[in-house]
Amino acid sequence: MSLRRILVISLGNPGEMRNTWHSAGHIVLEALQRTLGRDQPAFAAQRIGRASALASIGTRYSLLQSPAVMNVSGPWVARAYREHLTERGLAPAEVGVVLVHDDLEEELGVVKVRDWKRSHRGHNGIKSVNGALQADPAGKWARVSVGIGRPDARDKGAVSDFVLSKVPRNARNVLEGSGSQGLFDALAELETRWGGANSRL
């Protein structure tokens, strides 16, 4: 069964915490939509997974920003995935799922494709998704991490304060530039790997 659609979901935080390092996935996904051009609609609020979420649904890509607080994002991601299959009449084998999230272990703007089952390394958003969503073996699954660097101090409090601090303008430019290009390239790599290469990429 051939790949028909790519579902890309970014993790982050809502409201006042939206422009923080923990929401780097949202920042990069929004920039990706602009990179994809006219074929990918602008983000707009839609009712998805029993919540209002920002979404961009194109002919090939469905880009969704999780509206849930990072640490409890799993239940919403699971609902959104199941809803996506049901509403579009898709089998798991026809959908590639890509989870986009921040990564403290990589330098700012560095994007890496990760195996879905790779260790969450203490990332509570990934932990929540793993607990709520059982990856169907017939489907295609991957994570894409976006580097945000990390503070010199390694204690839990310092790391928490860092990921919830605001992203400076110059750093946001890096995420929107090299970060979105990295995600664009990662999606091309995944489509080729999954046997559904898109001629536009």
Q: Which residues are part of the catalytic machinery?
A: 22
Neighbours of 56 (CB within 10 A): 22
106/124 Cα distance (integer angstroms)? 17
At residue 12's C-alpha, the angle toward residues 48 and 36, to 5°, is: 70
Comparing C-alpha atoms, which of 112, 128, 108 is closest to residue 120? 128
Contact 184, 98 (CB under 8 A): no
Question: For residue 84, how far is the Cα from the chain centroid?
Answer: 16
* Phi, psi (deg, nearest 5) at residue 58: -100, -170
Comparing C-alpha atoms, which of 82, 70, 62, 78 is closest to residue 11? 70
Q: What is the largest CA-CA distance in the chain?
A: 49
